[in-house]
Amino acid sequence: MIELAHFQIVAAALFAIGLYGVLARKSVVLILMSIELILNAVNVNLIGFAAFVDFASPARTLGQVDRHICDNHCCCRVSPCNGYYLKAV
């Protein structure tokens, strides 16, 4: 049975890898990929917490909605940067 702690361990590992990538890399593309890993760690936490909330609670859908908002925000922010960088290279 998957517990909440399993979600948190995976999210912590993703966050740590992403943080290392942001601090250690010089390439813009690799830094943006590392930021994606950090945001995916946040998404794993949101989904994990939403999975362990009571089904009748409206807070259960809040984690799903927050995850979609985070995904959309990240795609809108990072995609133009990738296009600009790849065009310049």
Domains of the chain in start order, with CATH, are 4-88 (1.10.287.3510)
SS3 labels along 22-55: HHHCCCHHHHHHHHHHHHHHHHHHHHHHHHCCCC
pTM score: 0.67
Average pLDDT over residues 39-65: 72
pLDDT digits (tens, 9 = 90+) for 3-33: 889 989 999 999 999 999 999 988 888 888 8
CA distance 48 to 58: 15
Higher-scoring residue by pLDDT: 23, 84: 23
pLDDT digits (tens, 9 = 90+) for 33-42: 888 889 889 8
CA distance 47 to 64: 6
